[in-house]
């Protein structure tokens, strides 16, 4: 257990399960806050705004300001804004994505956009998919917030953004740039925001195929918690293991670097 | 040029291009009718009813009764009806598919269907896709009328049924049974309807990847017409060639079998 200086935490399966908080994780986040260690919540969810996510977390008694939430919506907006101008985009998505794009200064347009950005949209229509397909065939850069195939809900697994994105992918023959975990884009942005060095930052998550893989690809240490999707048995089958796999964050003793001061956000 | 006894014809790119008739093909179909040779139009379109397709063809002066139209909607309905009971299905599609299923005696249900059938639906919603994904995960047999990735329209290439189907495919990890060309299902049904022997039946189409491949897979002779999607140059790159490739049906001389009477429908 190394004295990490920066912490990235996944949300669903790590801090809560649907509408149920995970007390061990919440206690650990309070320790982080008390120790003055910087932490950031990283979520593949693009539908909610940071304000909405922070309110949900606060309702679970998790200390979380909007500035500590990094969604794929914010990540996709930052990615487009960092790309070549003009920053015009045809956007399929919900409030979180539309707001993130607007706040980043990306102009929404249906006419000849430079980018097509897709996030989960539970009001998807054929016309929206058609516009996206035409724009991508017309040369727009194709961005998708995340490749999640299915969304766990109370009704069962519903189509995720990766499934909706596959319509435009199949219709155009073009693969999008995915921004969310397990891609590195969102993690590299998060490292920059945390301001801690790669080797002193750790990523905590329950899902090997998104969270842990994103950390491994970025070259970070990772903590797998057995509170969500991926079981310990499944972890043991993987060719590259997380740095740690623990039952819950109650099994983690927070160590502070004794030799030097922890960096602060 | 063999004296075939039965003829299958593709529609778009073969008999017409969008709203434009192809005169050489239409003249050939009149020859078929005058010679008393049975012919059937085979289309991957599941949205229109046979009555609608026949009216469109008649407007182009093509002799075509509804009974001479075999759509993927009819083919999918026949496939479900031939499968194990109960013949209950959750159906995503337009009038052609809904009517074909009802007329075949397949019962539409959203509750615990034995089959999920997907055809192009330009009124697609997230809720429809969610219901399909839940039913497939729950064990329903997954059928899709056709795998066409993109639909040529006046606006450009819009998402085809294969693209919409990929949502449920991606969300569930289950591949559907595709019914339309290039699969054999629809062609084998069409052979049965024509009532002519495989070796004396020919399939005429413009699209190598759907029409010609379907004929090749079924073991039939095929005539590629250079009036639509696939060019002669593209044909020459293919590992398995059609039996013939001609500029248009004007290059085809209809021969009648002199030794025996042609079978009639």
- Min Cα distance A135 → chain B (Å) is 10
Is A10 one of the annotated binding-site residues? Answer: yes
Catalytic residue check, B10: yes
Q: What is the mean pLDDT of chain A?
A: 95
Chain B residues whose CB is inside 8 A of the A171 CB are 149-150, 157-160, 163
ipTM above 0.90, yes or no: yes
Contacts B164 to A, Cβ<8 Å:
167
Percent of chain A with pLDDT over 90: 93
CATH domain B84-178 topology: Rossmann fold (3.40.50)
Query: Is A157's CB within 8 Å of B150's CB?
Result: no
For residue range B42-58, list pLDDT tens digits in order: 999 999 999 999 999 99
CB proximity A118 to B under 8 Å: no
Q: Please, are residues B32 and B3 in contact by the beta-carbon 8 Å criterion?
A: no
pLDDT at B259 > cutoff 80: no
CATH 3.40.50.1000 domain position(s) in chain B: 6-44+182-251, 84-178
**What are the tens digits of pLDDT across the range B101-139?**
999 999 999 999 999 999 999 999 999 999 999 999 999
Residue entry with tokens 């160590």 = A255
Q: Is B19 exposed, middle or buried (CB count within 10 Å of its CB: 0-12, 13-18, 19+)?
A: exposed
Cα–Cα distance, B200 to B163 (Å, whole number) = 35
Give tens-digit pLDDT for A19-51. 999 999 999 999 999 999 999 999 999 999 999
Numbered ranges of CATH 3.40.50.1000 in chain A: 6-44+182-251, 83-178
pLDDT of B14 above 90: yes
- CATH of A6-44+182-251 among 3.60.90.10, 3.30.420.10, 3.40.50.1000, 3.40.50.2020: 3.40.50.1000
Please indicate whether, in this complex, the C-beta atoms of A134 and B158 are within 8 angstroms of each other: yes
- Per-residue pLDDT, A258: 52
Confirm or deny that A175 is annotated as ligand binding: no
Q: Rounded distance, CA A153 to CA A12, Å? A: 11
The confidence score (pLDDT) of residue A257 equals 63
Q: Which CATH architecture has domain A83-178?
A: 3-Layer(aba) Sandwich (3.40)
Q: Do A160 and B171 touch (CB under 8 A)?
A: yes
For an interface test with B, give the residue of A133, A134, A135 to mutate (most B CBs within 10 A). A133
Contacts of B78 (CB under 8 A, 6+ apart): B104, B189
pLDDT at B260 over 90: no
- Secondary structure of B167-197 as H, E, C letters: HHHHHHCCCCEECCCCCCHHHHHHHHHHCCC
């Amino acid at each position: 257990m190394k004295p990490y200086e920066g912490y990235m935490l996944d949300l669903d399966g790590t801090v809560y399960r649907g509408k149920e908080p995970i007390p061990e994780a919440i206690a650990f986040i309070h320790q982080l806050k008390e120790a003055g260690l910087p932490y950031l919540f990283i979520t593949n969810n693009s539908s909610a705004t940071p304000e909405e996510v922070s309110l949900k977390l606060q309702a679970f008694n998790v200390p979380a300001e909007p500035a500590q939430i990094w969604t794929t919506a914010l990540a996709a907006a930052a990615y487009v804004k960092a790309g070549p101008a003009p920053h015009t985009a045809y956007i399929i998505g919900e409030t979180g994505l539309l707001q993130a794009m607007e706040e980043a200064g990306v102009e929404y347009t249906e006419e000849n956009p430079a980018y097509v950005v897709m996030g989960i949209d539970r009001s998807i229509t054929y016309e929206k998919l058609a516009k996206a397909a035409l724009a991508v065939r017309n040369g727009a850069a194709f961005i998708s917030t995340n490749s999640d195939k299915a969304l766990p809900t109370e009704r069962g697994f519903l189509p995720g953004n990766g499934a909706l994105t596959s319509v435009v992918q199949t219709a155009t023959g073009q693969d999008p740039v995915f921004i969310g975990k397990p891609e590195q884009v969102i993690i590299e942005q998060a490292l920059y925001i945390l301001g801690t060095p790669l080797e002193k930052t750790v990523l905590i998550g329950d899902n090997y195929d998104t969270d842990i893989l994103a950390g491994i690809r970025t070259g970070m240490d990772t903590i797998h918690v057995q509170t969500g999707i991926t079981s310990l048995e499944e972890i043991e089958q993987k060719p590259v293991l997380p740095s740690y796999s623990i039952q819950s964050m109650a099994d983690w003793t927070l160590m502070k670097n004794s030799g030097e001061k922890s960096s602060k956000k």
